[in-house]
Chains A and B, each alone.
Chain A
């Protein structure tokens, strides 16, 4: 990694100045974003399974893989609380497009609004998985090589989830 930027050339002459700030961790932001995405997907799967128990057998394996992603993304990094409430930052919110969202539980901030039918729930999950897969590609610009490899694999898993969710018979 290149450390010799313009910032490093600044006033380093005196001995009494504060220590120069540590270079920013290039993995911090992509890992944080990826963890927030996994939190969001886990909440979505939880809500979908609660609302559509008949889909549980089909959705549980995907949910379990997201739990594995979250664990891998959290390993070796400082236990950052998933800052940004995932729902607040999600620009997608495709649930808003669905017509008949069930009445949201009052005071349940993380429960995403879900459409009413099983088919629409599967579509929503597929859309969210695809969006997560796309977002993991964005993290590849800055991250270190090992983290890039992990992020790319997680994105590939999410792309595969989306494809399987869109299959009628899977």
Chain B
């Protein structure tokens, strides 16, 4: 996978995350809503940074879809948490691929930090860890 393709894949994941956290936040009880808001802000920041990185590379950043297919109904808090976990896991995989594809040190480090953040959020939503975040072949 080229660096640009990996950047676009991560950006697509961030677009989906920004959309999904809107759905997540609507179903969470008040005590967990701040977590969703914080995650939403973090994903927006990562999205914007990826767009800037692609623009600097003279690539055209992928646009967000108007809406995304949900894996199932999200009408309860438990379903909302599962959606948040899914979003973070998919993003973790995109960032792990970006760590591998990135040609420069700075982008490798940025992608690794983003991978850490998705793993932390995934673990906090799940309340448990996974041994190899972002590596679906090892899950």
B96 with A157: CB separation less than 8 A: no
Give CA–CA (A37, B138) in the complex, Å: 20
B128 with A164: CB separation less than 8 A: yes
Identify which of A137, A145, A149 contacts B135 (C-beta below 8 A).
Answer: A149
Give CA–CA (A167, B45) in the complex, Å: 25
The smallest beta-carbon distance between A163 and chain B, in angstroms, is: 4
Say whether B28 faces chain A, with CB atoms less than 8 Å apart. no
Q: A145 — nearest CB in chain B belongs to which residue?
A: B100
B112 with A152: CB separation less than 8 A: yes
A148 with B100: CB separation less than 8 A: yes
Q: Which of B8-16, B46-54, B74-82, B117-125 contacts A (4 or more CB under 8 A)?
A: B117-125
Number of interface residues of B (CB under 8 A): 32
Give CA–CA (A82, B18) in the complex, Å: 43
Chain A residues, CB < 8 A from B115: 152-153, 155-156
Give CA–CA (A149, B96) in the complex, Å: 5
The smallest beta-carbon distance between B85 and chain A, in angstroms, is: 12
Chain A residues, CB < 8 A from B7: none
Q: B118 — nearest CB in chain A belongs to which residue?
A: A156
Say whether A72 faces chain B, with CB atoms less than 8 Å apart. yes
Identify which of A136, A152, A160 contacts B120 (C-beta below 8 A).
Answer: A160
Say whether B26 faces chain A, with CB atoms less than 8 Å apart. no
Q: B95 — nearest CB in chain A belongs to which residue?
A: A152
Number of interface residues of A (CB under 8 A): 31
Give CA–CA (A141, B99) in the complex, Å: 10
B100 with A156: CB separation less than 8 A: no
Give CA–CA (A24, B63) in the complex, Å: 42
Identify which of A141, A145, A155, A160 contacts B129 (C-beta below 8 A).
Answer: A160
Chain B residues, CB < 8 A from A113: none
Say whether B133 faces chain A, with CB atoms less than 8 Å apart. yes
B135 with A153: CB separation less than 8 A: yes
Chain A residues, CB < 8 A from B135: 149-150, 153
In the complex, besides A149-B99, A156-B118, A164-B128, 16 extra interface pairs with C-beta distance below 8 angstroms are A65-B130, A68-B132, A137-B109, A140-B109, A154-B132, A156-B92, A156-B116, A156-B120, A157-B119, A157-B131, A157-B132, A157-B133, A161-B123, A161-B129, A164-B123, A167-B127
* Chain A residues near B (Cβ < 8 Å): 61-62, 64-65, 68-69, 72, 133, 136-137, 140-141, 145-146, 148-150, 152-157, 159-164, 167, 170
